[in-house]
Amino acid sequence: MTPAPRNDARTSRHGKPALDASMTLLTEVMDRPLDAGYAEAAARRAAGDEPPRRTRTWILVAALAVLLGFVTATATIDLRAPQGAAIEARTVLEKEIVSRRSDVDALSARATALSEEIETLQTEALADVDPVLLETLQTDGVANGSIAVTGPGLVITLNDAAEGVGADDQSLNKKVQDGDLQRVVNSLWASGAEAIAINGQRLTPLSAVRSAGEAILVDLQPLIAPYRVEAIGDPATLETEFARSAAPGYLSTIGSTWGIQYSRIAQSKLSLPGNGIQRLFYAHAVDSTAATGDEPEAPTGQDGASTGETESSASTTRPTGADSSLAGQESTE
């Protein structure tokens, strides 16, 4: 008698082996890739039974978005708006600057008046007593810039480019720089100028033309464009010698490259003020250490600072390949 075949639990009714329980997830993914909920939703849409959208929800979302935008804009405006304390402090500083500037102008005017008074009294005192000494003092005063002078000469004017000047590096090259004025001044001294002034500021042997940020300073006095450089001397000689120098070529280059405006004209009469505020220097007798070979002490000024060093200024250079010289006066004697 042949036994009946066993009903194997792992054999399907189609005669194929049944899948293991661990394969259930893969079977569900392959046989039914979409969730039953999607099919039910599609059926409801087809039958027209889809519930209406919740209008209230959309209204709340829109109101919340408007509220958040309003709060963000208000906070941004409040952050960018200047604070009252900062505005008040700035106003106080501006008033203080104006007040101090007025004081400086008043003191400068008084110093000039006193210098002129001293010059007048000195002239009256020495006119009959020692006219030779008076002539020497006047000659020295012209050379050191302490007395006002009048005479013919040459006027050179420099101005920024005609188009607008911004804050970027390219725009800064369109402004007259301290190095430009230094070149003009040095060329005028070399051409035989006896006295020079920039925008009415008389130059002395100790004058410095330098920059502080975007401002040009002459003896620490800020100047603004246009810059009028006046030089007293024989106009024909100044014109000829200045034309032979390197300054006209340099000015022509920065004019064609950056738009710097430049003009030159001879004048039959120029009046330059004196620079009465002078720093006095004193020489000291050589002490006994000089005999032993030690270096003598350098002369010192009123404030005790050594006068043996030459004061220099870092001038602004343009990308033209030309170097920039320091402002200084060549001897006119």
SS3 19: coil
pTM assigned to the model: 0.57
Do 298 and 289 touch, CB atoms closer than 8 A? no
- On whether both 134 and 207 belong to a single domain, the answer is no
**Hey, which residues does 301 pair with through a beta bridge?**
281
Query: 27-36: buried (b, 16+ CB within 10 Å) or exposed (e) per residue?
Result: eeeeeeeeee
Chosen domain end from 274, 298, 314: 274
Phi/psi for 205 (5° steps) reads -60, -20
Rounded average pLDDT over 132-141:
84
Q: Does 269 reside within a domain?
A: yes
The pLDDT of residue 314: 44
Task: Give CB contacts under 8 A, 24+ apart, made by 210-216.
Answer: 210/178, 210/313, 210/314, 210/315, 210/327, 211/177, 211/178, 211/313, 211/315, 211/316, 214/172, 214/175, 216/176, 216/177, 216/178, 216/181
The pLDDT of residue 153: 95
The pLDDT of residue 167: 56
Q: Which two tokens stand for residue 288?
A: 């006994």
Rounded average pLDDT over 8-19:
52
Rounded average pLDDT over 50-66:
77
Q: Which two tokens stand for residue 138?
A: 């006047």
Number of domains composing the chain: 2
Q: Please state whether beta strands 221-223 and 215-218 pair in parallel, antiparallel, or not at all (unpaired).
A: antiparallel
Residues in CB range of 110: below 8 A, 6 or more apart = none
The pLDDT of residue 322: 39
Do 300 and 282 touch, CB atoms closer than 8 A? yes
What one-character DSSP code corresponds to residue 305? -
The pLDDT of residue 220: 84
pLDDT in tens, 262-278: 999 999 999 998 886 56
Q: Does 21 reside within a domain?
A: no
The pLDDT of residue 263: 93
Of 22-31, 105-114, 181-190, 322-331, the one with minimum mean pLDDT is 322-331
Q: Does 59 reside within a domain?
A: yes
Question: Which structural domain, as residue segments, surrounds residue 189?
Answer: 148-163+171-274
Q: Which two tokens stand for residue 186?
A: 């040095």
The pLDDT of residue 48: 66
Q: How confident is the model at residue 53 (pLDDT cuts 50, 70, 90)?
A: low
Measuring CA to CA, which residue among 175, 207, 211, 171 is closest to residue 188?
207
- On whether both 113 and 179 belong to a single domain, the answer is no
The pLDDT of residue 52: 58
Q: Does 95 reside within a domain?
A: yes
pLDDT in tens, 279-304: 666 777 887 665 455 544 444 333 43
* Distance between CA atoms of residues 283 and 281, nearest Å: 7
Q: Does 131 reside within a domain?
A: yes
Q: How confident is the model at residue 239 (pLDDT cuts 50, 70, 90)?
A: very high
- On whether both 180 and 266 belong to a single domain, the answer is yes
Half-sphere exposure for 108 (CA within 13 Å, toward CB): 11
The pLDDT of residue 140: 82
* Distance between CA atoms of residues 231 and 37, nearest Å: 97
Q: Does 26 reside within a domain?
A: no
Q: Does 253 reside within a domain?
A: yes
pLDDT in tens, 188-216: 999 999 999 999 899 988 888 998 887 89
Q: Does 320 reside within a domain?
A: no
Q: Please state whether beta strands 215-218 and 300-301 pair in parallel, antiparallel, or not at all (unpaired).
A: unpaired
Is the dihedral angle over the CA atoms 309, 311, 317, 320 positive or is it negative?
Answer: negative
